[in-house]
Amino acid sequence: MALSQIQCLDENNVNLRTNESKPDFFYSEEQRLALEILLRDGSDAFNKFLHANNLRCFLSDQEVDRLTRSVEEVYDPEPELSQVVDSDSDELPVSLQYWPELSDCSLPRLDLGWPDCASYRGVTRVTVYAQPPLDGNAHIKEMVRKTIANAQKVIAVVMDQFTDVDIFRDLLEACFKRKVSVYILLERAALPHFLSMADLRVRVTGGAEFFSRSCSRVRGRLGHRFLLVDGDKAVSGSYSFTWTASRLDRHLVTLVTGQAVDSFDQLFRDLYLTSSGVDLRGVTMETEPEPEPLPKATPVASLSAANARKLFSPKYALVIGDANANASGASPVSSGKNSNSQNPLKTKVPECIAPPTLP
């Protein structure tokens, strides 16, 4: 639907009339009008329009709920159109052209570097990996981590969900230790989950956008899941960079090398141009818990110089040592007396040790 809006801007494009039974059926004016009513008036008006025009329901309940929740108001044109511009003033009237000549947003550039794609990439080879692994092949996560570890120039990640800490650590090691350029494009809705794991400069993108005549917009989701390494190797499939995907879910991916990687290269460039940066200072995150207060150390009374000198004297050290020995041996001696009272024959007379004479 959004693609048909872009195609209508081309003067040479002609939408051929076809019905839903043909494989090439794509654009439908009735479906476009029904979608506008859904975005403007809600699901009840949408169902009434389908019944009045004898159209089948082309949206599931889940899609209807997602579209109604993701509607964005682009702007309100009434204040601009209601302004009366004085003919004597130098101000220009409101422009109604669809595409402005100059944009206030600059296109993002691959400022971290990108490999040259003009040369031939080699013979295309494809290897299939499954989760759980088949025929003794490696796990998908193991293959992904080895591919990242062998990267030398650039790593490009396009993912709908990215919360795997192990893969993220491998990307950090490739970036900081081996000086490999790393680009990460994420689905806009999955950004908070990624930010809870990392604090980096990231970019987000989504699917195609549909603009209605009531100045509202609905955006699709990013469904791509691929990893591009050094411009000559790509990993693509249903596998997401999450823990559950590597342990519990069933997935299928393909490792592609050679000239076929050129399609992934061009796709990432297009996605990067349509992406938008994220200001991490403006993202609302969960409040961090306050740290527990550290236990306060009890102050120790300082000794005077005379007492400190006495403690280091050999005479006082002997006296203190004998006092500690007597205190620690008080209970064994008392228990020994009780035992000796019951067995008088086994009583032993302790030897008397004379205390050392003090000089």
User: Is-cis flag, bond preceding 79, omega within 30?
Assistant: no
pLDDT digits (tens, 9 = 90+) for 216-228: 888 888 888 899 9
Question: Which residues, given as ranges, of the chain have pLDDT below 50?
Answer: 80-81, 84-88, 92-96, 98, 199, 331-347, 349, 352, 359
Residue 131's φ and ψ, nearest 5 degrees, are: -130, 115
The confidence score (pLDDT) of residue 339 equals: 47
pTM above 0.75, yes or no: no
Which residues, including other chains, have CB under 8 Å from residue 64's CB and lie 6 or more apart?
A: 38, 43, 46
Tell me how far apart the alpha carbons of residues 113 and 96 are, in angstroms, rounded to a whole number: 39
The confidence score (pLDDT) of residue 167 equals: 92
The confidence score (pLDDT) of residue 333 equals: 44
The confidence score (pLDDT) of residue 84 equals: 46
Domains plus CATH for the chain? 2-14+24-69 (no CATH), 125-282 (3.30.870.10)
Tell me how far apart the alpha carbons of residues 171 and 180 are, in angstroms, rounded to a whole number: 9
- Residue 106 token pair: 């600059």
Q: What is the DSSP string of 94-119?
A: PP--SS-SS-SSPPP--TT-----SS
Tell me how far apart the alpha carbons of residues 201 and 108 are, in angstroms, rounded to a whole number: 13
The confidence score (pLDDT) of residue 81 equals: 46
pLDDT digits (tens, 9 = 90+) for 62-117: 888 888 888 877 655 555 445 544 444 555 444 445 455 555 566 667 777 888 77
Which residues, including other chains, have CB under 8 Å from residue 252's CB and lie 6 or more apart?
A: 128, 129, 130, 131, 237, 238, 239
229 sits in which H/E element: strand 226-229
The confidence score (pLDDT) of residue 226 equals: 92
